[in-house]
Amino acid sequence: MTRVGTAALRAAVIMVLVLPEYAGAVELTGAWAPDADKCDKVFVRRGRAKQIDFAEFSGVHGGGFIIEADRLRGKFAKCTIKMRKEDGQGLNLIAGCATDIMLSNVQFVLKVVDDDNITRVFPGIEGMEVKYQRCRL
């Protein structure tokens, strides 16, 4: 094997050993509601592409949010994730959000319980948290 081939093999081995840390990154893409049993009342699929959207009276059933790549959507706000920092089982997001009347930066601090359960905590407000479950639509 040539020196170049040996160096490439070493680099590949190092990447395989180092990258599993990044491979386990938190994957939150999808629809989230406080109660998975009410997902069909909070979210619907619309259009030819069957995209996930909010049902007409989703707020009555606890509301929720949708995460898509670098975007986060609520029923009345659309946010673009500006910063994402993972810390163990936690995830800190800073998002620029827009409603019909206002623009603002919002901090989302999420604790990942498992693949289908997260908890949003509110820094500075002791004991305040909201639990969400992934909706399988």
Q: Is residue 71 part of a domain?
A: yes
pLDDT at 23 over 70: no
The answer to whether the CB of 32 falls within 8 A of the CB of 65 is yes
Q: Is residue 5 part of a domain?
A: no
Q: Is residue 9 part of a domain?
A: no
pLDDT digits (tens, 9 = 90+) for 31-54: 999 999 999 999 999 988 889 999
Q: What is the full DSSP assignment across 78-120? A: EEEEEEEEEETTEEEEEEEEE-SS-EEEEEEEEEEEETTEEEE
What is the domain count for the chain? 1
Q: Quick one: pLDDT at residue 28?
A: 92
Supply the CATH number for residue 86's domain. 2.40.128
Q: Is residue 8 part of a domain?
A: no
Residue 123 CA: distances (Å) to CA of 18, 92, 120 = 32, 11, 10
For residues 121-128, give the mean pLDDT.
91
Report which secondary-structure segment, H or E, holds 16. helix 3-18
Structural domain range at position 49: 27-135
pTM metric for this prediction? 0.77
pLDDT digits (tens, 9 = 90+) for 59-100: 898 999 999 989 999 999 999 999 999 988 889 999 999 999
